[in-house]
């Protein structure tokens, strides 16, 4: 009797021990999908304490899309995964290792078939091939042309400044610019400018006579083509007398005499500090204008060819 009770107790405790062994299980809602479709996997563990869940491992060809947190339901731990595949073929989900009370437990490995998507070309609507669409223009497309344009504008601006404004400024600084006038018109113009300066009226008699004789000398030099500015007064008078005797100029002895007296009066003012009266100064001004008007080069008369 005691022997039977011992055997029964042994069998009972053995059954209880096997009943308390934890269980791990991996379930899939399907094991066959097409490329891009998803599989819902559920990992179930019959224990809730002292459980360690390592990283869920997958072979190449399958990927985990999403996963949930670990839930406790009916004294079991449950975690769900969403799995997909983007390559066709047969792929294994390897055994997953779970540690319970420092003891390793393995799930079963599961084969998953991923098939290509079959396309019925007869049902696909065909569209015409679209033309090539140009990309929108950006700054880099025009950068070279913009830089070249700016360089060209800089060169044109420099040319305008240097050859127009700078040249004009230089001419202005050098003095008034006159158009090319005949010698007599130019001399009359300078006489008018001399009158406007009012030199002798402001006690600048020496400067007045110096400019007055320079105007007459310049006229003689341009009209008669001689270097009158570099010659003395006497040399100019002697030369004019020679021209008069040779009849190469249109003038009179009275005009030459007035010029001689004008030069003498100017020399007295410049070198002897003579101070002529206002009436004398005005008379010298009239004599200078009369000399300019009456001292001209004799022009050759055209020959008259008589018909025989």
- Which pLDDT tens digit goes with each residue over 218-265? 999 988 888 888 889 899 898 888 888 888 887 888 989 999 999 999
- Which pLDDT tens digit goes with each residue over 92-127? 899 888 898 888 888 988 999 999 876 566 665 667
Instruction: Round to whole Å and give the CA distance between 162 and 167.
Output: 7
β-sheet bridge partners, residue 45? 24, 77
What is the β-pairing status of strands 71-73 and 24-28? unpaired
Please state which CATH number belongs to domain 21-116: 2.60.40.10
Task: Check if the beta carbon of residue 64 is closer than 8 Å to that of residue 72.
Answer: no
Domain positions in the chain:
21-116, 183-297
Distances (CA, A) of 101 to 9, 52, 172, 242, 249: 27, 9, 108, 146, 142
- Which pLDDT tens digit goes with each residue over 45-89? 888 788 888 888 888 889 898 988 888 888 888 989 999 988 888
Residue 18 structure tokens? 């096997």
Q: What is the pTM of this model?
A: 0.42
Instruction: Round to whole Å and give the CA distance between 3 and 6.
Output: 5
């Amino acid at each position: 009797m005691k022997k039977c009770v011992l055997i029964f107790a042994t069998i009972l405790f053995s059954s209880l021990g096997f009943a308390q062994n934890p269980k791990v299980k991996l379930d899939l809602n399907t094991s066959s999908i097409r490329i891009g479709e998803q599989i819902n996997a559920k990992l179930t563990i019959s224990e809730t304490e002292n459980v360690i869940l390592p990283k869920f491992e997958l072979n190449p060809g399958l990927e985990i899309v999403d996963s949930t947190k670990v839930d406790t339901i009916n004294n079991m731990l449950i975690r769900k995964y969403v799995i997909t595949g983007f390559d066709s073929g047969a792929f294994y989900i390897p055994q997953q290792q779970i540690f319970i009370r420092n003891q390793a437990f393995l799930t079963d490995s599961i084969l998953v078939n991923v098939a290509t998507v079959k396309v019925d070309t007869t049902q696909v609507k065909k569209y015409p091939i679209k033309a090539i669409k140009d990309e929108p223009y950006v700054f880099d497309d025009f950068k070279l042309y913009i830089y070249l344009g700016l360089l060209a504008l800089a060169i044109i601006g420099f040319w305008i400044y240097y050859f127009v404004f700078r040249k004009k400024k230089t001419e202005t600084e050098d003095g008034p610019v006159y158009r090319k006038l005949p010698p007599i018109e130019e001399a009359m113009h300078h006489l008018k400018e001399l009158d406007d300066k009012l030199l002798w009226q402001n006690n600048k008699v020496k400067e007045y006579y110096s400019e007055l004789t320079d105007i007459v000398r310049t006229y003689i030099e341009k009209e008669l083509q001689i270097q009158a500015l570099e010659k003395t007064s006497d040399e100019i008078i002697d030369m004019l007398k020679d021209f008069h005797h040779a009849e190469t100029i249109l003038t009179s002895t009275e005009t030459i005499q007035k010029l001689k007296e004008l030069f003498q009066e100017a020399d007295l003012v410049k070198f002897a500090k003579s101070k002529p009266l206002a009436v004398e100064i005005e008379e010298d001004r009239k004599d200078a204008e009369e000399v300019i008007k009456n001292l001209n080069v004799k022009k050759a008369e055209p020959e008259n060819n008589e018909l025989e």
